[in-house]
Structures are given as structure tokens and as C-alpha cells.
Amino acid sequence: MDNPPLDLLAILRSQADPKPQAPCLLFEDEIITFGEFDRRTDMVAGALKKQGVGVGDRVAILSLGHPIFFELLFGCAKSGAIMVPLNHRLSGREVDDILSDAEPSLLLVESDLVHLVGEEHTFPRLDTRDFSDWLEAASPATPHPVSPDDPVLILYTSGTTALPKGVVLSHCNLSYLERMARELWDFTNESVNLAAMPLFHIGGLGWGLLAFSQGGQTVLTRSGDITELLDLMRHHRVTHAFFVPTIIQRLVEHIEETGVPAPKVAHMFYGAAPIGEALLNRAIAAFGSAFHHTYGMTETAGTTVTLAPDDHDPKGAHPERLASCGKAMPWVELRLVDPETGRDVPCGEIGEIRMRSPCITKGYWRKDAATDEAITPDGWLCSGDAAVQDADGYIYLRDRYKNMIVSGGENIYPAEIDSVLQFHPAIQDVAVVGAPHSQWGETPHAYVVLKSGMNTDEAEVIAYARARLAHYKCPTKVIFVDDLPRNASGKILKRELRG
């Protein structure tokens, strides 16, 4: 394709026009073809117009996984409106904060989630059970003219360190999903893509557009049950699947414990949080798939750095690359800088990842100051992630700069300690955070989840770390917990551990 589409409607037309009968979305017992999807999204645009929703208005949705997310996204694209998916795992107060910020003209809400919406909001609401009737009562609308820079989606950040901010994504930003699917990740019209991540997240909604963009099938599921996920992969002969490391760990444990062969999935993707080399090696052994690491942000409309399957060979020429998240995609400029000076750091030294690309957001919804803080005047997005780049361009994440521990004048990156402790035979999960220290300023504390039936103690864990790390990097206290707090994308909420 010499001229890749730069808007969502061009992507849809490229598939619906030549093969309207091809399966598009699969959900439970429902199959939606590309032609039917195109027709239904015309109806969504007509229903929004009848509702009084105009160009630039926001339409919020609070629901579990369902094709309605994709129908609403493209219906908003055809009407000039902006879709705002809401995280159903938030508290009512947090949902209210987002609704107050987005000020939607309409909220589609699943009846089981209506308790999350405060009564003070007076905008129109529609129960998702009535969605089909709402569509049929309207007439199809002619799509609104689209410019690549038109906003079509606002995704609120996970808020691991602060209140969520609305990331505004344009047609152009999202169009790079089509290129990544086609050029880098082997998606074709024969692909079957499992979308198991929450659809209010770029790793769910954006991931679900990859096979879609090539005319392949997308399997949607609400289930987080490991047995059901494995059954879906087998039944639909899934070719591509993306999971956060915590789900991959549960999948691997189930396969190892039951001895049941893993489904044949050609491409397995992981990201959103570090996986740890120990788990990655087990996953490669269990699935035998081509593994891809993905690094990106909501602000980048998905992945910007990826580690290809050829670099996942523990016995290959560069086994150290298993610890890397890969190289920047062709349309992404990437540099590492000293955040204090803004100057590039030498190869091999730690710096902040900064990226520039047409796939990156122009800013946050109604937050000019936050936008100016995150994006430099010449268009570089400041990720806040500390990393090292080698001579071949591979990126090795160290940690969030905000998680960095300064102990006795030394910089300590908790992710480095996490990675070492994950190899401990009794440890299932671990998170290291900084705690105040009267002499050193800060000191590392490790929160540890033990494997079922396994035991160890604080002294043994500290000794294990000291045998593998400089002593100043090692935890001085170990707290054993039943689980670690995580957000919807699998990231550990370290602010809750720090208290």
C-alpha cells in the first residue's frame, strides 16, 4: 500500500468496500461482518445526530468489553464527535472526576455499572441494553468530512502517579496502527486477533484495530479466566494475542501445572509493564510462539518501540536483548536526554526517553500546562521513563524517573532490583519502592508475593539480592504481602505501596 490511510474511515472503507461479507468482530456467539459493521456505524452517526450530538462533542461509554466500543468509535468518527471510554474499575469518585472534565453530551452506560455515575451529572444517558433500539429509531447519516488531525478519541491515563489526564488522539495518530500491523507484525486478512485487554485502554481498543485494519478477524472477550482464554485461542485458531505480564504468568503456570499443550498462537505480544527475564523464558518454552515486546504510552497511540521475535532467542547471538524493549519504529524519532538539562546522554548512560512522531498526541484535554510540561515546543514527548540505549539502538528500560530512589547520593532504579528478585525460586511477584531513611535520605523496601506453598524470610531475600547487586542497591526491608496493587493495564501502583 503506497499511500497508507490517515484516518479511521479510510481504514474501514479499505476493508468494507471490497469484502463486506468478511468476518470483522467475533463476540460470544455473534459474528459481525465488515459490511454490517459499516452499516451499523452509519446508524450510530445518525443516532448521535438525532440526539443532538455535534462536531467536537464528547460521547462517553462505561461498559465492559463489547463490540459497542468499536461501533461507537467509528460512529463518532463519522459524525465528528469524540469518544471517551471510561475505566469501569475506577471508583465512583474517580469516574465523576473524568466526567466533569470531559463534559460528554451523551453517556452510554451498562446497567451493572450505573452506580459509578453520580446523580449530579445531568447529561443524557443511554443504557447499553437499549443501544440497538436506539440505532434502529434513527436514520443512517452521511459521514462527516474527516481531516487527519481531527480528534476522535480521548483516553484518560491510568494515573499511577497523579490524577488522570485526557489524552486527545486524532485520526492521524490512530492511523499508524494500520502501518504497524502491516509492516511490522505480520497481520493479514487471514489473521485472528484476540483482544482480551480492557477496551477503555489503548492496549485494548488500539490492539483491537490491528487485524481489523488488514481485513482480519478480531475476537473480543470480557473474560479474564485463564482456562477460557486458552479455550478461545484454541477454538478460534488465534494467530495474534497481547497480554500484560501478570496474565502471561497465569497462562504459563496453568500450562505447566496441567500439562495441557499450549494453543498454537503464531505471535504473542507483551507489554504495559516489565515481564522479567525469568518469566519470559518460561513463556517462550510454554508457547513456542514468536514473541514481541511492545513499549508505548497512551500519548503515543500505542506502541512506538518493539522487540522482534529474532531478538527473543536466549541462545542466540545477543541474549542480553531479552532485557530490551527493542528499537524505535520507523516513523518514530527517539532520543535519551538528561531531563535536567535536555541534552542527549552518551550511549550506555541512563536518560529519559523522548519521542517525536505523527502518531503522538498533540496534548491533553483542557490541560495546557500539563501539555506544555509533557511536550516540548519542538514536539518531543517527555516520557518520564529512564532507559539506556546501546550502540545498535536497542532500548533498555530502567524505571520511571518518579520511581527512582536516591540513597546516599546514589541513584537506584527499583526495576533493576525487581528483575533480580523475580529469579528467586520462592518469589512470584515483587515491587521495590523507596522509603524515607534518616541517614541516607531513602532506602529500598521490597514488597514480595510468595509462590503458593513456598517460604523464605527477609534475611534470605536480602542475601539473595546482595549476591547479585551492589549492596547500596539492595533492599533493607522485605514486606511479605498477598498481592500487589495494580491498575487496569497491569502496572503496579507504587504510590499505594509508598503510602
Establish if 2 belongs to a structural domain: no
Residues 381 and 413 in one domain: no
Which has more pLDDT, 2 or 366?
366
Domain end, chosen from 389, 416, 436, is at: 389
Q: What percent of the chain has pLDDT over 90?
A: 71
| pLDDT exceeds cutoff 50 at 1 | no
Establish if 1 belongs to a structural domain: no
pLDDT at 80: 97
Residues 324 and 266 in one domain: yes
User: Sorting pLDDT into bands at 50, 70 and 90, what band is 85?
Assistant: very high
Residues 357 and 457 in one domain: no
| pLDDT exceeds cutoff 70 at 251 | yes
pLDDT at 401: 62
Angle between helices 202-213 and 171-179 (to 10 degrees): 60
Give residues with Cβ within 8 angstroms of 67, minimum separation 6. 25, 27, 30, 32, 220
What is the pLDDT averaged over residues 260-274? 87
Residues 299 and 326 in one domain: yes
Establish if 82 belongs to a structural domain: yes
Establish if 400 belongs to a structural domain: no
Cell 494500520 appears where?
A: 178
What is the pLDDT averaged over residues 80-101? 90
Residues 126 and 44 in one domain: yes
pLDDT at 34: 98
Establish if 288 belongs to a structural domain: yes
Overall domain count for the chain: 2
Residues 47 and 181 in one domain: yes
Provide DSSP, 94-142.
Answer: HHHHHHHHH--SEEEE-GGGGGGS-TT--S-EEEGGGHHHHHHTS---P
Give residues with Cβ within 8 angstroms of 469, minimum separation 6. 416, 417, 420
Establish if 272 belongs to a structural domain: yes
> How far, in Å, CA of 87 to CA of 104, rounded?
15
pLDDT at 4: 67
Domain end, chosen from 323, 357, 389, is at: 389
Cβ contact 241:193 at 8 Å: yes
Residues 341-364: pLDDT tens digits? 999 999 999 999 999 999 999 999
Mean per-residue pLDDT over the chain, rounded: 91
> How far, in Å, CA of 414 to CA of 431, rounded?
8
Domain end, chosen from 357, 389, 421, is at: 389
**Mean pLDDT lowest for which of 45-59, 226-240, 297-311, 394-408?**
394-408
Residues 149 and 263 in one domain: yes
User: Sorting pLDDT into bands at 50, 70 and 90, what band is 320?
Assistant: confident
| pLDDT exceeds cutoff 90 at 409 | no
Angle between helices 8-16 and 202-213 (to 10 degrees): 40
> How far, in Å, CA of 372 to CA of 335, rounded?
19
Establish if 399 belongs to a structural domain: no
> How far, in Å, CA of 52 to CA of 404, rounded?
49
Residues 366 and 428 in one domain: no
Residue 378: Cβ within 10 Å count: 6
In this structure, the dihedral spanned by the alpha carbons of residues 264, 20, 302 and 169, taken in order and rounded to 10 degrees, is -160
Residues in the chain: 499
Residues 24 and 121 in one domain: yes
What is the pLDDT averaged over residues 389-405? 84
Residues 441 and 333 in one domain: no
Query: The domain containing residue 482 runs over which residues?
Result: 407-498
pLDDT at 410: 66
CATH code for position 118: 3.40.50.12780
| Closest residue by Cα to residue 156 from 77, 71, 94, 67 | 94
Residues 413 and 378 in one domain: no
Establish if 157 belongs to a structural domain: yes
Residues 335 and 468 in one domain: no
User: Sorting pLDDT into bands at 50, 70 and 90, what band is 161?
Assistant: very low
What nine digits make up the cell of 275? 515481564
CATH code for position 465: 3.30.300.30
| Torsion angles phi and psi, residue 186, rounded to 5 | 60, 35
